[in-house]
């Protein structure tokens, strides 16, 4: 049976991170993940994880100053990008997060790719934990360096690090590329984490253009055995948005 992870960057954002972890446990999630936990003392996060028994699947590198969305592909920010990677690795070690999403940022061109590849080498060598890269759709994140799964696959192949994987967000892929189930099947060996939300409004998975009953069935058929991330926007209290879990669990 498919299992779900609560992305606490989107769910229970009105609570502290430790309390959001506890809420996810009470709601029946099998794991949690987060975006930028750095303002919370890691020992408090670890205590909540130990108390609930939930694994922390991942966290993001710092996105930079206001208006930025990562630093890793910016040629003039290599030192800052590696500082952000170091910070993420240290925090992940303290809370035993399984993966680190290394955010590329707004950039393009050959120098951006060269910088991104070099920094991914650095990240992959810095830790044995999984390093994730995620294409973001052009509607929500225009000018983001990494925009398609084909581009991500080429970079993963070039870096050739065993712990570098693709974050496959069905929402982003659905908005930009489509053909979700075929892409899941073809990219499965390179996928480190799967996330989902409805298209186009990034809401709960029980409506919209994507048939998540079919997508989740494909994920089960592929024998994916890790929780997949609920990273959707809710319009009210998170607890009131969880009816979809009864249908899909």
Please list the pLDDT of the chain residue by residue as tens digits (249 residues). 899 999 999 999 999 999 999 999 999 999 999 999 999 999 999 999 999 999 999 999 999 998 899 999 999 999 999 999 999 999 999 999 999 999 999 999 999 999 999 999 999 999 999 999 999 999 999 999 999 999 999 999 999 999 999 999 999 999 999 999 999 999 999 999 999 999 999 999 999 999 999 999 999 999 999 999 999 999 899 999 999 998 887
Helix (H) or strand (E) holding 167: strand 164-169
Report residue 181 CA to chain centroid gap. Answer: 18
List, for residues 120-156, the tens digit of each pLDDT value.
Answer: 999 999 999 999 999 999 999 999 999 999 999 999 9
Q: Which of 143, 147, 131, 105 is nearest to 190 (CA)?
A: 131
Q: Which residue in 157, 146, 227 sits closest to 187, CA to CA?
A: 157
**Rounded to whole angstroms, how far apart are CA atoms 64 and 110?**
22
Write phi, then psi, for 130 (nearest 5 degrees): -70, 135
Checking phi first, is residue 56 left (phi over 0); if not, alpha (psi -120 to 50) or beta? beta
The pairing of strands 99-101 and 58-60 is: parallel
Three-state DSSP state, 7: strand
Tell me yes or no: is domain 56-248 CATH 3.20.20.150. Answer: yes
Q: In this predicted model, what pLDDT tens digit does every residue of 6-28 receive, in sequence order?
A: 999 999 999 999 999 999 999 99
Strands 4-7 and 130-133 come out as: unpaired
Active-site residue identified among 50, 134, 177, 220: 134
Query: Rounded distance, CA 224 to CA 236, Å?
Result: 31
Would residue 214 show up in a list of annotated catalytic residues for this protein?
Answer: no
- Mark whether 50 is an active-site residue: no
Task: Give the global pTM.
Answer: 0.97
Residue 23 φ then ψ, to 5°: -65, -40
Angle between helices 17-27 and 42-52 (to 10 degrees): 10
Instruction: Tell the burial category of 20 from Cβ atoms under 10 Å away from its Cβ (0-12, 13-18, 19+).
Output: buried
Non-local CB neighbours of 90 within 8 Å, separated by 6+ positions: none
What's 77's DSSP letter?
G
Options 50, 51, 158, 231, the catalytic residue = 231
Q: CA of 6: how far to CAs of 34, 58, 59, 161, 241, in Å? A: 8, 11, 12, 28, 12
CB 55, CB 84: distance < 8 Å:
no
């Amino acid at each position: 049976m498919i299992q779900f992870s609560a992305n606490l960057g989107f769910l229970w954002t009105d609570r502290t991170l430790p309390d959001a972890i506890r809420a996810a446990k009470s709601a029946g999630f099998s794991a949690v993940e987060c975006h930028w936990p750095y303002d919370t003392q890691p020992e408090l996060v670890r205590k909540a994880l130990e108390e609930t028994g939930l694994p922390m699947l991942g966290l993001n590198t710092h996105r930079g100053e206001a208006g930025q969305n990562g630093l890793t592909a910016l040629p003039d920010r290599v030192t800052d990008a590696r500082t952000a990677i170091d910070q993420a690795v240290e925090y992940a070690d303290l809370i035993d997060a399984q993966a680190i999403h290394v955010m590329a940022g707004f950039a393009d061109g050959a120098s951006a790719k060269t910088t991104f590849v070099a920094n991914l080498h650095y990240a992959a060598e810095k830790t044995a934990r999984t390093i994730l890269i995620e294409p973001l759709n052009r509607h929500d994140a225009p000018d983001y360096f990494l925009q398609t799964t084909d581009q991500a696959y080429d970079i993963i192949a070039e870096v050739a690090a065993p712990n570098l994987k693709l974050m496959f967000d069905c929402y982003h892929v659905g908005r930009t590329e489509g053909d979700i189930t075929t892409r899941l099947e073809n990219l499965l060996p390179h996928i480190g984490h799967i996330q989902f939300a409805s298209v186009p409004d990034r809401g709960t998975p029980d409506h919209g253009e994507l048939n998540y009953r079919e997508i989740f069935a494909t994920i089960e058929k592929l024998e994916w055995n890790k929780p997949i991330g609920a990273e959707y926007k809710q319009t009210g209290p998170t607890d009131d948005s969880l009816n979809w879990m009864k249908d899909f669990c």
